Amino acid sequence: MGSIIVEKSALQGELEISGAKNSALPILAAVLLTDEEVILHKIPVLSDVETMIDILRTAGKNVVFEKETGTVRVSGGILHTHVPYELVRKMRASFNVLGPIAVIMGESSTPLPGGCAIGVRPVDFHIEGLKKLGFDVNYDHGEILAKRGNKPEEVAVYLPFPSVGATEHIMSVAAVLPGVTVIENAAMEPEIVDLQDLLNEMGANISGAGTSKIMITGVKKLHGCEYTVIPDRIEAGTYVLAILTTGGEGLIKNVRTDHLDALWAVLEKTGAIVKKGENSVEVKSWNNWRGCDIDVMPYPGFPTDLQPQAIVYLSLAQGTSMITENVFKTRFAHVGELVRMGANIKIKENTVIINGVERLQGTTVMGTDLRATAALVIAGFAAEGETEVTQAEYIFRGYENVIEKFAKLGGKIRYVPGGVPEI
């Protein structure tokens, strides 16, 4: 795997945010529900998106990805009902094609997705939901087999935790199953609303996304449509925290500022200067920003996907901060790497206690997942000297043109494929 090398930089300037990865992935899974053409706009060029497109092609769909415009055209029917291990291993969100393929073809099978650095990542809520929708779901040597059965006229699915993936999976499948399905304690993320809007554009009858109760009245068939995904709130939040952590200032464009209220609330507490428009935000670092406490929660709480980046920002704040991770309770693989850069952080169960330090020192650190790698790159821009972030390819899973975008903000950054050669 390669490395990203960064040197101390004060990030400043203007930046345009790409389409949301965590909208594009469930939406690409949902287009399996029709064999008519679906045209999607603002799909970001990311390795996770490429993996999902590979899955659609493996299933038999025709997919054209015009990377220069971010337009994806999907058409054709499903020919194969098994999703290969090497694709599910690369990206666990691919598990969400199990239901759509089974509901159209009568059955489907996919490997049980594994865990990753941020947690065990079980899929029991997905499976329980599919069973409630009348599917037979069995395990066989690491594979999950789903067979469509008879769905009761009225079904209520209660999620023990507002799982984003389980909400999306159940909502997509229920869209083409007879009768009414209600999802209680549903995830409320903006990407769930985006998926509902896409499905309704395809002829579905869904309401309530964005609240904890989603009502789906099944329709016989979904048709093609044209749809544009929302901007990526996590990409936007990452660049905002990068600019502030490096003492810079910037204008971030094409961002739904109403999707990041929890971040703005934290930044204001720390003394950062934040001027929000509807689709853009101007941020300016304040020299001695203050620490503050953060409770990571499902939306509309502070997003877990900005937790690593927030830890870097607060590592250089005045005073003490506490971050409690209530979504992925062990998502702290990046903390050890930050301590190696001079951060003062202690982990106590699912909480980190951060005592702000004057400076971080550049060194070699290791990326462990998409957001942790982004956080280490930000730490490198703030640290004295040079930082090499190894296993850098994680960042390309979720940040379109990330090297160019940071360079445009004045970041001294380069990507070395295959790592820096040992001298």
* One character per residue 317-346, x = contact with ligand EPZ (rule: CB under 6 A): ----------xx------------------
- For the bound state, the minimum distance from the C-beta of residue 190 to ligand EPZ, rounded and expressed in Å, comes to 11
Residues 6+ apart with CB under 8 A from 124: none
Q: Which of 22, 309, 321, 387 binds ligand EPZ (CB under 6 A)?
A: 22
199 binds ligand EPZ (CB under 6 A): no
Question: Of 2-10, 161-169, 251-259, 267-275, which segment contacts ligand EPZ by CB under 6 A?
Answer: 161-169
Give min distance, CB of 94 to ligand EPZ, in A: 10
Q: Which residue has the tokens 């409320």?
A: 188
Q: Does 295 bind ligand EPZ (CB under 6 A)?
A: no
Closest CB to ligand EPZ among 132 and 371?
371
> Shortest Cβ distance from residue 209 to ligand EPZ (Å)?
14
Which listed residue (124, 136, 226, 258) binds ligand EPZ by CB under 6 A? 124
Beta carbon nearer to ligand EPZ, 148 or 233: 233
The answer to whether 163 contacts ligand EPZ (rule: CB under 6 A) is yes
By the rule CB under 6 A, 398 interacts with ligand EPZ? yes
Nearer to ligand EPZ, 298 or 342 (CB): 298
In the complex with ligand EPZ, the residue whose CB is nearer, 128 or 386, is 128
Q: Where are the alpha helices (DSSP H) in 274-399?
A: 307-315, 333-340, 370-382
Smallest separation (angstroms) from ligand EPZ to the CB of 46: 10
DSSP string of 210-243? Answer: TBSEEEEE--S----EEEEPPB-HHHHHHHHHHH
The question of whether 116 is a catalytic residue gets the answer yes
Looking at beta carbons only, is 47 or 75 nearer to ligand EPZ?
47
| Out of 38, 59, 93, 281, the residue judged to bind ligand EPZ by CB under 6 A | 93
Interaction between residue 115 and ligand EPZ (CB under 6 A): no
Selected from 305, 325, 337, 388, the binder of ligand EPZ by CB under 6 A is 305
**Alpha-carbon distance values, 418 to 2, 389, 400, 415 (Å):** 4, 12, 20, 9
Nearest-10 crossing angle of helices 164-174, 124-132: 20
- Residue closer to ligand EPZ by CB (options 113, 342) is 113
Q: Which DSSP state fits 177?
A: S
Query: What is the phi/psi pair of residue 380, to 5°?
Result: -65, -40
Q: Does 309 bind ligand EPZ (CB under 6 A)?
A: no
CB of 216 to ligand EPZ, least distance (A): 18
Question: What is the C-alpha to C-alpha distance for residues 88 and 244, in angstroms, rounded to an integer?
Answer: 36
Options 12-20, 54-62, 102-110, 159-167: segment touching ligand EPZ (CB under 6 A): 159-167
> What residue ranges in 356-418 does DSSP mark as E strands?
364-366, 386-390, 412-416
Helices (H), 188-332: 190-201, 233-245, 261-270, 307-315
DSSP strands (E only) in 34-172: 38-41, 62-66, 71-75, 107-111, 136-140, 143-147, 154-158
Cα–Cα–Cα angle for 240, 246, 249, nearest 5°? Answer: 55
| Catalytic residue (one of 87, 105, 116, 339) | 116
- Contact assessment for residue 174 and residue 199, using Cβ atoms and an 8 Å cutoff: no
**Residue appearing with tokens 């001079």:** 342
In this structure, what DSSP letter does residue 329 have? Answer: T
Strand 136-140 with 107-111, pairing = unpaired
DSSP β-ladder status, 213-217 and 225-228: unpaired
Asked if residues 322 and 353 have their Cβ atoms less than 8 Å apart, the reply is yes
Q: Is 411 helix (H, G, I), strand (E, B) or coil?
A: coil
Between residues 119 and 179, which has the closer beta carbon with respect to ligand EPZ?
119
DSSP lists the bridge partners of residue 325 as: 296
* Alpha-carbon span 250 to 10, nearest angstrom: 10
Residue 413 CB, shortest distance to ligand EPZ, in Å, is 20
Answer for which of 121, 346, 359, 414 binds ligand EPZ (CB under 6 A) is 121
Rounded Cα gap, residues 137 and 127, in angstroms: 7
- Closest-by-Cβ residue to ligand EPZ is 165
The residue written with tokens 């996770």 in the block is 48
User: How many other CB atoms are there within 10 angstroms of residue 385's CB atom?
Assistant: 11
Query: Would you say 190 or 342 has its CB closer to ligand EPZ?
Result: 190
- Restricted to residues 344-383, the positions that interact with ligand EPZ (CB under 6 A) are 370-371
**Which span sits near ligand EPZ by CB under 6 A: 102-110, 119-127, 148-156, 313-321?**
119-127
Least CB distance from residue 92 to ligand EPZ, whole Å?
7
The set of catalytic residues is 116
- Residues near ligand EPZ (CB under 6 A): 22, 25, 93, 119, 121-126, 161, 163-166, 187, 304-305, 327-328, 370-371, 398
